[in-house]
């Protein structure tokens, strides 16, 4: 059977006084998506965003490959670690991973390079692992 495992990864920046345009200027790139506090979302618009956000997604990898996704997101962005420290002082930043795994999946490994890229910018990795029952469904929205 073909390996159906895959990974999704995004850099997320949240904050009540976050201006997506300012983040784009500081990091030198546009987000994949952004939103503002108070915006309605979901089917029927019943849910309301609780804060502002700037999100940059990597291309999904099949089979999973968080190391290349971390590089895809961080390599093109501003390399000035002072900018990242400034962002860390003002906002909540993380890398959010969705790992969609087949039964018996042996796990994943982060390379020293990926860990170094994250650590230099003060980024935490948050991960949700999903089992085989989710491989054929639309993944949950990591931007919630």
Sheet with 124-130, edge to edge strand ranges: 33-35, 52-57, 6-15, 92-100, 124-130
pLDDT per residue over 49-92, tens digit each?
Answer: 999 999 999 999 988 899 999 999 999 999 999 999 999 999 99
| The model's pTM | 0.85
Which residues are within 8 A (CB) of 12 and not within 5 positions of it... i.e. 6 or more apart?
53, 54, 55, 92, 93, 94, 95, 96, 142, 143
Domain assignments of the chain as residue spans, ordered by start: 6-134
pLDDT per residue over 25-48, tens digit each?
Answer: 999 999 999 999 998 887 777 889
Q: Quickly count: other Cβ atoms within 10 Å of residue 126's Cβ.
A: 12
Q: Quickly count: other Cβ atoms within 10 Å of residue 59's Cβ.
A: 12
């Amino acid at each position: 059977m073909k390996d159906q495992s895959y990974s999704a990864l995004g850099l997320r920046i949240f904050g009540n006084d976050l201006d997506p345009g300012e983040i784009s200027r500081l990091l030198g790139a546009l987000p994949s998506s952004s939103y503002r506090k108070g915006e309605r979302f979901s089917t029927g618009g019943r849910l309301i965003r609780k804060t502002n956000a700037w999100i940059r997604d990597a291309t999904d990898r099949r089979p999973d490959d968080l190391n290349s996704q971390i590089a895809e997101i961080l390599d093109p962005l501003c390399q000035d670690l002072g900018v990242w420290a400034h962002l860390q002082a003002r906002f909540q930043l993380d890398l959010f991973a969705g790992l969609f795994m087949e039964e018996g999946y042996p796990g994943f490994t982060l390379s020293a390079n990926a860990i170094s890229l994250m650590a230099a910018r003060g980024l935490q990795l948050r991960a949700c692992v999903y089992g085989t029952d989710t491989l054929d469904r639309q993944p949950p929205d990591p931007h919630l």
